[in-house]
């Protein structure tokens, strides 16, 4: 299981800070009243580092651009250029903002609007430093016109225009890239430092220029350098944060941005197609753009194909989290003659997100694949057969399955022991371990992880699947009652052909 190096206390403190709007400058909320395919779609920034995910053309950059246009320093044409008669749809575009700026209103938020009417943008935008890192940041040095004069055998700069990396830059880059950048330099091509060339050094001490850097390596150094010298409480916008980066480097970059949000009180928005970029973030920090709707909540990026209808399947199930997905997969496998290969299950990491995605999916006229939502027994969301929202038994899924299996130990204990990679004859020891774990574990979500630890570092997913599958095998009547709603939404030819 992924464990971020950012402390939970830091995440919670930043959530509270954003919730109370305890900033000198902060973009609290935007409403896309009418922009491209969006109509009255709100996006609140409940955490100072926000990820925008979605399919290509879903509107990620639209949200990023709308945020940028809140401030005077950014020209709207940077994101929303009009090309004569070919962009007639821009007429009457409108974006509303809720902002914090203590130099304008010391006690509360204030509102502004940006509109496009009569072929021009109209707005009363406040001041704020805004840094924009577009996808062009990963263009190799040998393709950047401002560096072409450096590609010469006689190129050099005076010693007073060569700067070592400041400690904070060196430490941050080293951690993100997983390599020591001691000895790296910035060469100022002009005295004002507006254009620079980077140089590095190998482990053996051989120097090399940015022309031999990897695209990700160069972009990280320049991005971090720009952020570190920027004003506190600046707004940072990053397109496709994972471009040119290894998945681990992507995670470390997002963790660095969370540190910046805490240390420099900055606000960061980035777009991504990467699951790794989402891992360090809380659910409130993630928004999904789907061409005409925007949803808040953490999910697996792969599930976007289901949300937008880009799937080769006959039915979709949205569930709350990973364990519920494991349980529902067990239900389908054990269901009599159920066409498992025609159904996809997607964990949304939250009951509200699962319900919202199911509602959107079934209402969207372009999607011909039906879906249902299965919520946990302790969910505060309402089950509703008409809306295809169904509830699992028990209050906590993990506790319900765990307790039911232990109670049926006499009939399935030996099988469970083998499924947990133990000897059949050691089932009494396995049972004692399960009982001990149940007594000592306060959080039901940790039951399977703790059993795995006690029995020899067995992966949590292995333990979860063993419990869920054996429960399903032992309870065929409950299984059938739970999967019957899904049978009802399958196309008749699929449902009948498999019975």
Q: What is the per-residue pLDDT across 421-453, written as a single tens digit (0 to 9) for each?
A: 898 888 999 999 999 999 999 999 999 999 999
Q: Write down the pTM of the prediction.
A: 0.74
Res 239: pLDDT:
94
Which residues on adjacent β-strands are paired with residue 27? 99
Q: What is the per-residue pLDDT across 20-78, written as a single tens digit (0 to 9) for each?
A: 999 999 999 999 999 988 999 999 999 999 999 988 788 899 999 999 999 999 999 99
Alpha-helical (H) ranges within 213-371 are 215-229, 247-263, 275-278, 304-307, 322-334, 351-363
3-state secondary structure (DSSP) of residue 349:
coil
Tokens representing residue 406 in the block = 């232990």
Per-residue burial over 373-383, b = 16 or more CB atoms within 10 Å of its CB, e = otherwise: bbbbebbebeb
Q: What is the per-residue pLDDT across 206-263, written as a single tens digit (0 to 9) for each?
A: 988 888 888 788 899 999 999 999 999 999 999 999 998 889 999 999 999 999 999 9
Res. 363: pLDDT tops 90: no
Integer Cα distance of 251 and 245 in angstroms = 10
| Domain map (residue ranges) of the chain | 8-134+231-289, 141-213
Tokens representing residue 320 in the block = 């709350």
Q: Which position has the token pair 């630890």?
A: 453
H or E element that contains 112: strand 110-117
Q: CB neighbours (10 Å) of residue 364?
A: 16
Closest by CA to 87, choosing from 36, 34, 31, is 36
Q: CB neighbours (10 Å) of residue 57?
A: 14
Fold of 8-134+231-289: Rossmann fold (3.40.50)
């Amino acid at each position: 299981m992924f464990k971020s190096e950012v402390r939970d206390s830091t995440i919670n403190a930043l959530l509270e800070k954003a919730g109370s709007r305890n900033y000198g400058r902060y973009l609290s909320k935007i409403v896309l009243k009418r922009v491209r395919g969006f109509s009255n779609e709100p996006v609140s920034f409940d955490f100072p580092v926000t990820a925008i995910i979605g399919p290509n053309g879903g509107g990620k950059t639209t949200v990023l651009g709308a945020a940028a246009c809140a401030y005077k320093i950014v020209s709207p044409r940077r994101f929303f250029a009009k090309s004569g008669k070919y962009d007639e749809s821009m007429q009457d575009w409108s974006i509303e903002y809720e902002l914090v700026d203590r130099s304008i209103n010391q006690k509360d938020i204030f509102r502004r609007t940006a509109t496009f009417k009569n072929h021009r943008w109209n707005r009363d935008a406040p001041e704020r430093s805004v840094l924009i890192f577009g996808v062009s940041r990963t263009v190799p040095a040998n393709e950047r016109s401002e560096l072409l004069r450096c590609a010469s055998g006689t190129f050099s700069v005076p010693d007073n225009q060569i700067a070592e990396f400041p400690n904070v830059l060196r430490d941050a880059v080293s951690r993100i890239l997983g390599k020591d950048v001691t000895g790296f330099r910035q060469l100022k091509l002009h005295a004002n430092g507006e254009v620079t060339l980077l140089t590095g050094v190998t482990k053996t001490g051989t120097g090399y220029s940015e022309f031999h850097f990897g695209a990700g390596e160069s972009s990280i150094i320049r991005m971090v350098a720009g952020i570190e010298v920027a004003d506190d409480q600046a707004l940072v916008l990053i397109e496709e944060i994972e471009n040119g980066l290894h998945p681990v480097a992507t995670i470390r970059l997002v963790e660095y941005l969370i540190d910046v949000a805490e240390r420099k009180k900055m606000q960061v928005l980035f777009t991504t197609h990467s699951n790794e970029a989402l891992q360090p973030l809380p659910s409130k920090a993630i928004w999904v753009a789907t061409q005409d709707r925007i949803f808040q909540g953490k999910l697996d990026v792969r599930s976007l194909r289901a949300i937008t209808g880009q799937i080769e399947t006959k039915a979709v199930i949205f569930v709350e989290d990973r364990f519920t997905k494991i349980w529902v997969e067990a239900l389908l496998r054990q269901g009599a003659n159920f066409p498992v290969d025609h159904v996809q299950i997607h964990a949304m990491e939250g009951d509200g997100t699962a319900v919202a995605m199911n509602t959107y999916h079934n209402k969207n006229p372009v999607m011909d694949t039906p879906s249902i939502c299965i919520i946990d027994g302790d969910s505060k969301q309402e089950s509703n057969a008409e809306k295809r929202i169904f509830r699992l038994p028990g209050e906590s899924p993990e506790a319900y399955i765990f307790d039911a299996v232990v109670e049926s130990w006499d009939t399935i204990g030996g099988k469970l022991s083998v499924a947990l990679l133990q000897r059949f004859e050691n089932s009494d020891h396995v049972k004692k371990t399960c009982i001990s774990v149940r007594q000592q574990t306060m959080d039901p979500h940790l039951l399977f992880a703790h059993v795995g630890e006690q029995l020899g570092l067995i992966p949590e997913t292995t333990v979860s699947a063993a419990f869920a599958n054996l429960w399903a095998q032992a309870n065929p009547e409950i299984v059938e009652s739970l999967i019957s709603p899904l049978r009802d939404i399958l196309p008749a030819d699929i449902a009948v052909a498999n019975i």
